[in-house]
Amino acid sequence: MPCPNRKSVKTYLTPEEYAQVAAMAAQTGLSISTFLKRVGLGQELRTKTDHEAVLALLKANADLGRLGGLFKMALSEGTAGKWSDEFRATLRQIEQGQAKVIAACRDVASSLRRK
């Protein structure tokens, strides 16, 4: 639907070119129109995979945090009993895992900023 304050751009593509543009737009999760507009204006493009990777890392970090919280609660309530040394060792492993996930989040975020 034409908009009075906007101009349209028309281009001709071969079926192969169209398929390539459509595939690239699908990778970013954008419509073909929005994809071509962003590419034409030199704006940043992020793939859905980038976004999904960041969300997966954040979810893993949250899961580790919840698990660590449960271990801490068991230790503080004394319900760990004879397993308290193992609980503490596991808690340290969880904290180390969280540190790795946070580092991976930073790496992904910095690589996305460079794109």
* 54-93 pLDDT tens trace: 788 888 888 888 887 877 777 777 766 667 777 778 888 8
**Higher-confidence position of 27 and 36:** 36
Same domain, 32 and 63: no
In a domain, 99, yes or no: yes
pTM: predicted TM-score of the whole model, two decimal places: 0.47
Q: Is pLDDT at 115 greater than 60 in this prediction? A: no
The first and second tokens of residue 49, run together, are 């995979």
Looking at residue 68, what is its pLDDT? 79
DSSP H or E stretch at residue 63: helix 48-77
Determine the Cα–Cα distance for residues 109 and 54; give it in Å rounded to an integer. Answer: 8
The string of pLDDT tens digits covering residues 9-29 is 898 999 999 999 999 888 888
Looking at residue 16, what is its pLDDT? 95
Looking at residue 42, what is its pLDDT? 86
Q: What's the DSSP call for residue 79?
A: T
The boundaries of the domain holding residue 59 are: 48-114
Q: Is pLDDT at 32 greater than 80 in this prediction? A: yes
Same domain, 54 and 41: no
Cβ-proximal residues to 36 (8 Å cutoff; 6+ apart), any chain:
21, 25
Q: Say what angle helices 84-114 and 48-77 make with each other, to 10 degrees.
A: 160
Contact 97, 64 (CB under 8 A): yes
Same domain, 28 and 68: no
Same domain, 52 and 80: yes
